[in-house]
């Protein structure tokens, strides 16, 4: 009912069982129980019950895990940023590795809860101290809020690593999707900091790294493949940048950046640098379109590396730490990862690349799903853990 959802959205919840029953009733009234939460939220928004963003955020946080026999888990604040820290209980003869983890969700969704299981697994299996960052979300908090939260939390941890039993020289940043974007941006910023220990590594899990071209081969080939559609990718980055999705059509067709600027960045963002084997699945080159001054003025910050790390200068890229990049064949963001892999390697940075031929966006979070698990997700997580343990 409408009254129930008003209670949900104001977070004035005192009867968890009532919530479960009402959700069951709601889903039984709408024939959408087999549809993803995002589609359910779209329906609820259209009929005026609640916004899609509010519904998805609520559903993502509805399940909480209990205590962990192998980990100490504590919610803290690093400066003004909420974090959740996972520390192995087993004693260690030497300081441990540290991992700053930034969750995905298009800068709009995701939380400490959505990636709880993944962070627990990373901490247990790699015997590392993992710090998950609850950064501010768009559209309420626009760019650079999320980036700044992740940066400030990372700096705090690096300065206080020994307090958590972590070797300051063994700290890495890690993130998936939008979190991969944040990890890459933080890594670039910290690369030039002489007053802090050098990051040991960056781990980028199907990251989104540019917003100049949403018509690269992977975007066209996988534009309607779950869990991230081409249109949604552009929608999320606009929410992060401006707090709304105005000019979405222009961004999708490529008429949001002037041709001269596109040509300037073609040395880094171009289908020409995508290996041919990734173009055989029905790709046709996209025609370059120019844009109006008015449209460009609203999105010109897409050219900032803190928002689009693929556009960083070589002098910055050359300073980056050893890197791990995971890409999936059936993912619109595949080519962002491939292009960044090339940039890193061209600048002498060591890269470990894991490509899941049968993978899709978001698959790593399915590694232990109760209702749908994929072997490639487990394989991807194995590769991440093995990389961490090799550092």
Q: Are 233 and 203 in contact (CB under 8 A)?
A: no
Q: Return the axis-axis angle of helices 2-9 and 52-60, rounded to nearest 10°.
A: 70
Given the residues 213, 331, 335, 336, the one annotated as active site: 331
Those residues whose C-beta lies under 8 Å from the C-beta of residue 268, and which sit 6 or more positions away, are 310, 311, 339, 343
- Alpha-carbon distance 139 to 236, whole Å? 9
- Among this protein's residues, is 149 annotated catalytic? no
Give 140-180 as a DSSP string: TS-TTHHHHHHHHHHHHHHHTGGGGTEEEEEEEEEEETHHH
Q: Which residue reads 């900091």 in tokens? A: 193
Residue 288 gets which letter from DSSP?
P
Q: Which of 149, 361, 366, 376 is catalytic?
A: 361
Distance CA 367, CA 380 (A): 9
Q: How far apart are CA 96 and CA 86, in angstroms?
A: 12
CA–CA distance, 378 with 375 (Å, rounded to integer): 5
SS3 87: strand
Residue 187: name the closest of 78, 313, 319 by CA: 319
Helices (H), the chain: 2-9, 16-29, 37-46, 52-60, 116-126, 145-159, 178-191, 217-221, 230-242, 248-253, 259-265, 293-299, 314-317, 334-346, 375-390
Residue 278 in 3-state DSSP? Answer: helix
Q: Does the active-site annotation cover 286?
A: no
Q: Which of 172, 177, 187, 366 is catalytic?
A: 177
* Dihedral, 229, 103, 198, 151 alpha carbons, nearest 10: 100
Residue 148 token pair: 């700044």
Catalytic residue list contains 331: yes
Tell me the catalytic residues.
177, 331, 361
């Amino acid at each position: 009912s409408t009254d129930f959802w008003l209670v949900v959205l104001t977070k004035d919840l005192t009867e968890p069982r009532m919530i479960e029953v009402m959700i069951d009733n709601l889903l039984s009234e709408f024939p959408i129980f087999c549809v993803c939460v995002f589609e359910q939220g779209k329906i609820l928004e259209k009929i005026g019950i609640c916004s899609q963003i509010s519904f998805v955020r609520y559903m993502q946080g509805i399940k909480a895990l209990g205590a962990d026999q192998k980990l100490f888990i504590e919610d803290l604040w690093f400066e003004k940023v909420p974090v959740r820290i996972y520390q192995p209980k087993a004693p260690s003869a030497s300081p441990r590795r540290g991992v700053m983890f930034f969750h995905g969700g298009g800068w709009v969704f995701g939380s400490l809860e959505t990636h709880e299981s993944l962070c627990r697994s990373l901490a247990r299996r790699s015997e590392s101290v993992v710090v998950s960052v609850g950064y501010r979300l768009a559209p309420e908090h626009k760019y650079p809020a999320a980036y700044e939260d992740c940066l400030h939390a990372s700096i705090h941890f690096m300065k206080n690593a020994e307090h958590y039993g972590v070797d300051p020289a063994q700290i890495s940043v890690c993130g998936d999707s939008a979190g991969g974007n944040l990890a890459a941006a933080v890594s670039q910023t910290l690369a030039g900091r002489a007053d802090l220990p050098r990051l040991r590594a960056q781990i980028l899990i199907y990251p989104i790294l540019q917003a100049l071209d949403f018509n690269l081969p992977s975007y066209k080939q996988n534009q309607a493949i779950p869990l991230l559609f081409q249109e949604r990718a552009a929608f999320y980055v606009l929410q992060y940048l401006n707090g709304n999705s105005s000019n979405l059509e222009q961004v999708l067709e490529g008429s949001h950046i002037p041709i001269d600027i596109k040509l300037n960045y073609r040395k880094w963002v171009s289908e020409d640098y995508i290996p041919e084997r990734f173009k055989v699945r029905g790709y046709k080159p996209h025609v370059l379109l120019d844009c109006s001054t008015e449209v460009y003025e609203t999105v010109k910050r897409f050219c900032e590396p803190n928002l689009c790390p693929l556009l960083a200068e070589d002098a910055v890229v050359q300073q980056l730490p050893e890197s791990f990049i995971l890409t999936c064949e059936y993912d619109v963001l595949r080519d962002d990862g491939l292009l960044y892999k090339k940039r890193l390697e061209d600048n002498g940075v060591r890269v470990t690349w894991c490509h899941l031929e049968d993978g899709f966006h978001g698959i790593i979070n399915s590694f232990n799903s109760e209702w749908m698990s994929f072997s490639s997700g487990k394989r991807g997580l194995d590769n991440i853990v093995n990389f961490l343990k090799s550092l």
